[in-house]
Amino acid sequence: LEAMIPVEIGMHSSRVVDFNEANNEEGLRNLINLVEELRDKTTIRVAAYQQRVSHYYNKRVNPRPLKEGNLVLRNAAITDPAETRGKLAPNWEGPYKMKRVLRPGTFKLETLMGREIPRFWNVDTTRKRTIPDRLFCPPLFRSPCRPLWWSANVLK
């Protein structure tokens, strides 16, 4: 027997009037036999839905291939969670060099002078930095990158 709300008992809905216990038992047995089929259909429907969702998400994903030696900028908000840098401070710090790739999307950074940054970074907290070759020079005497004319004046 199925549960009925009190209104159905007093008002005699079609469910109460047409109730036949033999038909009810037979219908419940048929429903039990169909449970596996209903589960299979639901599993197929859920798998199709998940496939559509992943396709919708993946078509908007922008791949960012990064490898060792690339120059990247890191998110300044991550390094200063207390927000002490002020609202006019730059949003990105760097450039930093990718020292070692641990797995796709996760890597260690180092400064241009070779000092390793103490935590792991991922693609979400960094941005690839593109500097023309003429502007990039290796550090001289462990100093920040300076134009080539500066090193000629220092060596005199």
Residue 109 near residue 74 (C-beta atoms within 8 A): yes
Pairing mode, if any, of strands 92-103 and 71-75?
antiparallel
Considering the chain, what percentage of its residues have pLDDT values greater than 90? 19
- Separation of alpha carbons 101 and 113, rounded Å: 19
Please identify which residue in the block is written with the tokens 């134009």.
147
- Separation of alpha carbons 128 and 97, rounded Å: 10
| pLDDT value for 51 | 97
Q: Give how far the C-alpha of residue 137 lies from the chain's centroid of Cα atoms, to the nearest Å.
A: 35
- Separation of alpha carbons 67 and 118, rounded Å: 19
| pLDDT value for 105 | 83
Average confidence (pLDDT) over 37-50: 96
Residue 142 pLDDT level (bands cut at 50, 70, 90): very low
